[in-house]
Amino acid sequence: MRHPDTAVQRAVRPGTVRRAAGALATSALLLPLLGAAPSTAGPADAGLQRAFAAAAAEYGVPQSVLLGVSYLQSRWDGHGGAPSVSGGYGPMHLTDARTALASAPHHSEGTEDPRGDSARPALLPVAKPPLDAELPARLTTLRRAAGLTGLSTERLRTDPAANVAGGAALLADAQRELGAPASEDPARWYGAVARFSGADDSATAAAYANDVFAVIRSGERRLTDSGQRVALAARPGLAPDTAQLRGAGLRMAEADGTECPARVACEWIPAPYERFGDGDYGNHDVGGRPGSQRIEYIVVHDTEGRWEGVLDMVQDPAYVSWNYSLRSTDGHVAQHVKARDVAWHAGNWYINSTSIGLEHEGFLASPDAWYTEAMYRASARLVRYLSDMYGIPLDRQHILGHDNVPGPTAASVGGMHTDPGPYWDWAHYFELLGRPFEAAATADAGLVTILPEYAAHRPAFTGCVTKGEACAVHGSSAVRLRTGPGAAYPLVKDVGLRPGGEASTIDVNDIGSRVSTGQQYAVAGRDGEWTAIWYLGQKAWFHNPAKAPVAVPATGEVITPRAGLASVPVYGRAYPEVSAYPAGIPAQQVTALPYALAAGQEYVVGGEVRGAYYYAVTFDSAGHRVVTGEDRYYEIQFGHRVAYVKTSDVTLRALS
């Protein structure tokens, strides 16, 4: 079953009257893309580099500018003619979102409680009906390009060379609108590049243009998804005329009060902390972090909805919340909840109370609905800033996907979300974070870091459009696990997801038998080209050939059950012991998840934390309190999701 992200769920609490949501006015922007369907790519594009040269010459745009803009939009990939998450096509990401919108159901049948705190009634989703809405100009650039070039919209969507020509025409038109002459000097095109971004505020447009010119200064070269080698020669001394932005007619975003780095265009669009209904309140809790409680995690989500509709929902007090939203077309960031406060986004109250949630405009089950380089870069800059500000380690046990967040109790495991899913490029993301994954030990090391080559690694998935039907073949961060050293062995089982012992599947939302880029595991065995790891209390094997490895050797710390213990419990939250709760605060039971961590097994440690519970169930924050106990826990990489074990139950050792 597909478990959508909180950004498209409607929170309904039992016994509470809900008013009609203003978000419905733009919910047509929340529909998935036609590109979610399996796409059939044609033959490799011929001469993409020549197409850039020809379009630059025809429209009088410096080739370096055209290449730099295209790199920031698509890294020069064509994605087989499929649209991006914001309805953009081809190497220039020309947007035609109206064509890309589909009428497929939005998969709003998830069961996860986004707040994840049993001390308060569950927040459960209700599907939203689609309504029509006007699309902003940044989502309709392909039709403008058709008018400027005389090329058909179909050709602009499917022919990479035509798409490049359309992008060049838009840049040239932006230069004319600014009253600037066509010039061979790329430094004179800063304003046009800023306008091309589609941003309606000057900060976002400037951040986008700055990134484009940074690419031009550094130069780039890569093999595209159609097998084309494209190169942009470095221009290290290039200094664009940034004063051109003053004449671009863009608004000033409300950045006051935002917690963003200087190089990220950030806007303050607050989530409401309000009373409503029968003594209820939403959509987050006020807090005093990091003084009251450390911020340990950043959680990466995808919105499962489009920008405008998502913003409407986070501003609804009867909905749920997250800290930041990031826009795909240009990397624009909106902050909604301060870092000191606790947003309701991850489905696990312990993680919520110790994390910051980032929603990225996108759809999990749309393999060709690619994220732009602009959004990846903006997100990475924001995460680096938050990491520095709050001391959050830049690794996969602290920079979590929503799909890595554990169910807080056994009953909740099956309802947890699975975004951003197997098509989020974790390797590229961590390169942008300045923490690339790489081998850190010899080949016979006792630990591995999962690291497939994203573009070339293309495991089969089903269920992107129709249950049981194949998804489009696509690069992926996910590596599949089997019960033995061979493709004929069945997939490993996840007894938390399927208590009845049913087999795992290759459904795009089934995380029961897969690991992901950057995650680390202890080696449990090797057999030819197959490597076994400890995973959910069992040996799990993956194909790891020397010529195309999907994991590299690593070093780190691991835990194993203390001597004399046959097994130890695994928890989905690090709560304090019952005796730590003062009078008036109901004790939260520390209940184990339905897994066994047996003697002889080892799991990689992400850190040590003291048991803590943030009690906040009333609008008046005077009664809120962080309860801290004496019990301490290790966070471990247990399966696809992280988990916790008590330090008193295990032994810690370094492993290489």
Could you please report the per-residue DSSP string of 217-248? HH-EEEE-TTS-EEEE---TT----GGGGGGS
Residue 268 in domain: no
Averaged pLDDT for residues 236-240: 96
Q: With 70 as the cut, is the pLDDT of residue 12 above it?
A: no
Residue 542 and residue 579 in one domain: no
Residue 279 vs residue 207, higher pLDDT: 207
Closest by Cα among 166, 315, 638, 227 to 325: 315
Residue 628 and residue 584 in one domain: yes
Closest by Cα among 265, 139, 135 to 202: 265
Report the CATH number that the domain containing residue 56 is assigned in CATH.
Answer: 1.10.530
Phi, psi of 592 (to 5 degrees): -80, 155
Domain boundary among 208, 223, 247: 247
Q: Identify any residues that bridge with 567 across adjacent strands, giving them in sequence order.
A: 598
The per-residue pLDDT for range 38-81, each reduced to its tens digit, is 333 334 445 999 999 999 999 999 999 999 999 999 999 998 88
Identify the pLDDT of residue 252. 75
Residue 399 in domain: no
Residue 499 and residue 569 in one domain: no
| Residue 298 · residue 397 · CB < 8 Å | no
How many Å apart are CA 592 and CA 329, to the nearest integer? 43
Residue 95 and residue 171 in one domain: yes
Residue 610 and residue 490 in one domain: no
Residue 151 and residue 182 in one domain: yes
Q: From the CB of residue 613, how many other CB atoms can be counted at a distance below 10 Å?
A: 27
Given pLDDT bands bounded at 50, 70 and 90, which one contains residue 108?
A: very low
Residue 546 and residue 565 in one domain: no
Identify the pLDDT of residue 393. 98
Count of structural domains within the chain = 3
Residue 260 in domain: no
Identify the pLDDT of residue 133. 58
Q: Give the three-state DSSP class for 396.
A: coil
Residue 20 in domain: no
Identify the pLDDT of residue 99. 78
Averaged pLDDT for residues 287-312: 92
Q: With 50 as the cut, is the pLDDT of residue 21 above it?
A: no
The per-residue pLDDT for range 396-454, each reduced to its tens digit, is 999 999 999 999 999 999 999 999 999 999 999 999 999 999 999 999 999 999 999 99
Domain boundary among 523, 553, 583: 553
Residue 79 in domain: yes
Averaged pLDDT for residues 541-554: 97
How many Å apart are CA 269 and CA 325, to the nearest integer? 10
Averaged pLDDT for residues 104-120: 60
Phi, psi of 444 (to 5 degrees): -95, 20
Domain boundary among 247, 270, 303: 247
Residue 229 vs residue 106, higher pLDDT: 229
Given pLDDT bands bounded at 50, 70 and 90, which one contains residue 279?
A: confident
Identify the pLDDT of residue 37. 35
Residue 208 and residue 67 in one domain: yes
Q: With 80 as the cut, is the pLDDT of residue 469 above it?
A: yes
Residue 565 and residue 475 in one domain: no
Residue 407 per-residue DSSP state: P
Domain range enclosing 620: 560-655
Residue 119 in domain: no
Residue 567 and residue 492 in one domain: no
Q: What is the pTM of this model?
A: 0.89
Residue 73 in domain: yes
Residue 473 and residue 614 in one domain: no
Q: Strand 324-326 and strand 355-360: pairing?
A: parallel
Angle at 614 between CA 609 and CA 620, to 5 degrees: 160
Identify the pLDDT of residue 46. 53
Given pLDDT bands bounded at 50, 70 and 90, which one contains residue 390?
A: very high
- Percent of the chain, pLDDT > 90? 75
DSSP of 318-343: TS---SEEE-TTT--EEE-S-TTSEE
How many Å apart are CA 324 and CA 253, to the nearest integer? 15
Q: Strand 478-480 and strand 514-516: pairing?
A: antiparallel
Residue 449 in domain: yes
Given pLDDT bands bounded at 50, 70 and 90, which one contains residue 389?
A: very high
Averaged pLDDT for residues 503-521: 97
At 334, list the tokens: 């909106």
Residue 145 and residue 191 in one domain: yes
Closest by Cα among 356, 322, 138, 334 to 255: 334
Residue 607 class from Cβ within 10 Å (0-12 exposed, 13-18 middle, 19+ buried)?
Answer: middle
